[in-house]
Amino acid sequence: MEFKHQATVTLAEVAEAAGVGESTVSRVLRNHGSFSGRTRERVMAAVERLGYVPNRIAGTLASTGSRLVAFVIPSLSNIVFPDVLRGASAVLEENRYQAVFSVTDYDPAKEEALVAAMLAWRPAAVMLAGYEHTEGTVKMLRASGCRVVELLDLDGDALDIAVGFSNRAAGRESATFLLERGYRRIGYVGHDLNRDTRAGKRFSSFCETLDAHGAPLVAREILAGASSVENGRLGLERLLARAGDLDAVYFSNDDMALGGYFHCLAQGIAIPSKLAIFGYNGLDIGRATPQPLSTIRTPRVATGQIAAQMVVADAPPQAVDLGFELIDGATA
């Protein structure tokens, strides 16, 4: 889908759509002064329909252009997103842009509210994780007039610029790696797949690949909440209590895979002869364990760097595939 820059929706356009004066719209949005309940309903309906976001710094950037780049990311506890921010910040600082960020906790409704808050400051660009947003978020982004960069996924249609890799391909290659090494009784440990849609895409493609080779997933353990080393340890413990004859386990990411690795060490489960472990992300700590983790390494810092470079250069709409690297490791 081709992205076209749109002029920012103005207060005057909202006033015209609502059939009231601009001063009335201003009073409604500031919730100050006199107006009827019916007038408020008409104004807010026009705001929602047009995707209007109030300008908190109206007039201050008209001559110079905004130097703000807003990041709306799912988490700071997952090293993936700090790595992206680190890569982007270096480029932005060199070009005298200022990065600001907010955290959604993988909540689409919270993402929508935070996007609205960020757009109120009229940034030069908004960067978000993935393609899955609420209808309200998409409407605001399309009406904002700023650049939109979607990160860490290429399985979908970008609003403007996308930088990352295919999560479905990562899931497929992970399954192929395990199958080619003779593993047939494979399980999965992960976190909330409805909230982390990129993990959901990897898992779906992983299972499809197993099915296509006549070795369907034997069992899964999905834990509520964010991914963590502790949840990985607990998830593998629960999984093996139900399906103790597994020969390999695929984890949603390296955090959880390391938790599974520590569980095996504590229980005397030989890796990989008794149980193989495979992760995702390629974290540095996974290379420092006694047996380096078998995983997929993703270009997180490079994703941030290239995304920032494209914003600074005002690049045309496009999707940039940075690919990923499968790491053999020693756990599978």
DSSP reduced 3-state for 267: helix
Instruction: Give pLDDT tens digits for 300-318.
Output: 999 999 999 999 999 999 9
Closest CA to 298 of 287, 320, 282, 284: 282
Q: What gap in Å lies between CA 162 and CA 171, rounded to an integer?
A: 20
Per-residue pLDDT of the chain (332 residues; tens, 9 = 90+): 444 455 678 888 888 999 988 888 888 887 777 888 888 889 889 888 888 877 654 444 433 457 899 999 999 888 899 999 999 999 999 999 999 999 999 999 999 999 999 999 899 999 999 999 999 999 999 999 899 999 999 999 999 999 999 999 999 999 999 999 999 999 999 998 888 999 999 999 999 999 999 999 999 999 988 889 999 999 999 999 999 999 999 999 999 999 999 999 999 999 999 999 999 999 999 999 999 999 999 999 999 999 999 999 999 999 999 999 999 999 99
Residue 14 dihedral angles phi and psi, to the nearest 5° = -65, -45
Question: Within a 10 A sphere around the Cβ of 290, how many other Cβ atoms?
Answer: 8
What domains does the chain contain, in order, with CATH numbers? 11-54 (1.10.260.40), 68-165+300-324 (3.40.50.2300), 167-297 (3.40.50.2300)
Share of the chain above pLDDT 70, in %: 95
Residues present in the chain in total: 332
